């Protein structure tokens, strides 16, 4: 029997088991969600610290005690924060929409520009790309390095072409590679010369406190941009989706005082005030303390770490020596990104599906869903149980070996 025949025999055995496993979306598992069940308890007051009745309309930017807690956690000023509903993506969509339709700080609305190009570090987050595509902006891929986006490429593109309007960044534990932007990367982003004076950085700090192995910090780009004389360049996002509940959390956007004022004026046309009851529940769960959130994240990491270790154990034992798969061990966050041999990612995803394992679609980590080398696959290990993850990784490794053998 040839090697490939042997692998296919094993594959058929898995297929016959009729498994239903999912490694596709970065969702918290039940055991992680359970750590925040205090969110479901009743509140003993409906008055915020300044006497606001949280059951009623109002307080557009969010409760002071909640903003203070996030300010302590993230080192961003409370008075420049807008807390929102349970999705930071929604805040991103709103700000992108404002830039598109109205402009911010006197910028020409992008809808009136002949070309709008947005830099997209790759591999990257599919929903950033979907949002950008929704408005019809052109996405320009920029390679990632171990220190963040390749800044030589970013600086050149931004300096040469005034239709390059912005960049997506996930500075801490990037999705999907788990890369931490170096201080040099952050400073270069904040100070670089741009052909469009209104160039924007969409700083999505979704994993800002999501340490898995050890704690890494990222330089505060809002401070750097202000010091570099570009205070209005950065819109910074965060949410509690992966801290408490994605289905019942809080999002946050912050920027310069001028930007926040302008954004808030528009948000005031969308809502008379977001859900302050969830804000109060979150404050109560953590006693208003950023340190309590940090301790809670350690408990989450204790549940997630074995899942990441399992994935890395399989990748190391199956591929470290033969080099079939290239990967960077993530420094934290929610994902593991792998590169299988060129032209094999779609085949791996299709094979895994046949064997009952749903993977994120090949190409999802690239703009327009098109990975030119058809090699990148995003693994989301947070949702399955360890037992399910073990079976899933066996099947994934088998599918990779089959696809690589077929290619060879
Ligand atoms: C980089 C990144 N940003 C944003 C989100 C979604 O955030 P939210 O639930 O706050 O909309 C995710 C979820 O996977 C993500 O990976």
Q: What is the 3 state secondary structure string of 310-332?
A: HHHHHHHHHHCCCCCCEECCCCE
Indicate where the chain has its CATH 3.40.640.10 domain(s).
50-287
| Adjacent-strand bridge partners of 211 | 332
Ligand 1 probe mutation, 175, 202, 248, 381, most atoms within 8 A of CB: 175
Give the pair of three-digit tokens for residue 213.
Answer: 């192995």
- Residue 346 Cα to ligand 1 midpoint, Å, equals 24
Query: Cβ of 292: how many Cβ atoms within 10 Å?
Result: 14
Indicate where the chain has its CATH 3.90.1150.10 domain(s).
3-26+293-407
Query: Cβ of 214: how many Cβ atoms within 10 Å?
Result: 8
Contact status, residue 222 vs residue 255, Cβ threshold 8 Å: yes
Q: What is the pLDDT of residue 408?
A: 86
| Beta strand ranges found along 5-155 (DSSP E) | 21-23, 81-83, 117-122, 138-145, 148-149
Contact status, residue 342 vs residue 373, Cβ threshold 8 Å: yes
Q: Which atom of ligand 1 is nearest to the CA of 334?
A: 16
Q: Taking the C-alpha atoms of 122, 211, 242 and 141 in order, what is their torsion angle to the nearest 10 degrees?
A: -10
Q: What is the pLDDT of residue 36?
A: 98
Q: Which CATH number fits domain 50-287: 3.20.20.140, 3.40.50.150, 3.90.1720.10, 3.40.640.10?
A: 3.40.640.10
pTM of the full predicted structure? 0.97
Q: What is the pLDDT of residue 1?
A: 62
- Residue 85 Cα to ligand 1 midpoint, Å, equals 13
Q: Is 205 in the pocket of ligand 1 (CB under 6 A)?
A: no
Q: Is 241 in the pocket of ligand 1 (CB under 6 A)?
A: yes
Q: Is 94 in the pocket of ligand 1 (CB under 6 A)?
A: no
Buried b / exposed e across 301-336, counting CB within 10 Å, b at 16+?
A: bebbeebbebbbebbeebbeeeebbebeebbbbbbb
- Splitting the chain (408 residues) into consecutive groups of 10 residues, what average pLDDT does each group show? 89 95 91 97 96 97 98 97 97 98 98 98 98 98 98 98 98 98 98 98 98 96 98 98 98 98 98 97 98 98 97 96 94 96 98 96 97 97 95 97 94
Q: Does the domain formed by 3-26+293-407 have CATH 3.90.1150.10?
A: yes
Q: What is the pLDDT of residue 2?
A: 75
| Beta strand ranges found along 177-323 (DSSP E) | 200-204, 234-239, 251-254
Strand, coil or helix: 345: helix
């Amino acid at each position: 029997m040839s090697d490939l025949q042997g692998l296919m025999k094993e594959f058929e055995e898995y297929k016959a088991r009729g498994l239903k496993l999912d490694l596709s979306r970065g969702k918290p598992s039940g055991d992680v969600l359970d750590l925040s069940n205090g969110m479901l308890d009743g509140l003993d007051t409906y008055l915020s610290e300044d006497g606001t009745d949280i059951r009623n309309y109002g307080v557009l930017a969010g409760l002071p005690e909640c903003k203070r807690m996030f300010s302590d956690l993230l080192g961003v000023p409370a008075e420049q924060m807008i807390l929102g509903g349970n999705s930071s993506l929604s805040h991103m969509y709103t700000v992108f929409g404002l830039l598109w339709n109205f402009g911010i700080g006197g910028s020409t609305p992008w809808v009136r520009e002949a070309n709008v190009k947005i830099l997209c570090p790759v591999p990257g987050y599919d929903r950033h790309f979907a949002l950008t595509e929704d408005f019809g902006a052109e996405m320009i891929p920029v390679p990632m390095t171990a220190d963040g986006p390749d800044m030589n490429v970013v600086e050149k593109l931004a300096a040469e072409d005034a239709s390059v309007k912005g960049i997506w960044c996930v500075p801490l534990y990037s999705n999907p590679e788990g890369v931490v932007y170096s201080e040099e990367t952050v400073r270069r982003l904040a100070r670089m010369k741009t052909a469009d004076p209104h160039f924007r950085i969409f700083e999505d700090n979704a994993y800002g406190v999501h340490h898995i192995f050890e704690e890494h910090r990222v330089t505060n780009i809002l401070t750097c941009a202000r010091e570099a004389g570009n205070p209005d360049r950065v819109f910074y996002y965060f949410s509690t989706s992966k801290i408490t509940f994605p289905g019942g959390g809080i999002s946050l956007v912050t920027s310069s005082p001028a930007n926040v004022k302008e954004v808030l004026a528009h948000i005031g046309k969308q809502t008379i005030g977001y859900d302050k009851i969830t804000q109060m529940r979150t404050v109560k769960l953590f006693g208003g303390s950023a340190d309590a959130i940090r301790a809670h994240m350690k408990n989450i990491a204790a549940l997630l770490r074995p899942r990441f270790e399992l994935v890395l154990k399989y990748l190391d034992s199956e591929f470290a020596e033969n080099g079939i798969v290239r990967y960077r061990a993530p420094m934290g966050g929610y994902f593991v990104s792998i590169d299988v041999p060129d032209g094999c990612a779609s085949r791996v995803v299709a094979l895994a599906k046949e064997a009952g394992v749903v993977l994120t679609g090949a190409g999802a980590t690239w703009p327009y869903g098109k990975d030119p080398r058809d090699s990148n696959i995003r693994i989301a290990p947070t949702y399955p149980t360890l037992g399910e993850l073990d079976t899933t990784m066996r099947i994934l490794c088998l599918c990779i070996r089959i696809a690589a053998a077929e290619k060879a």
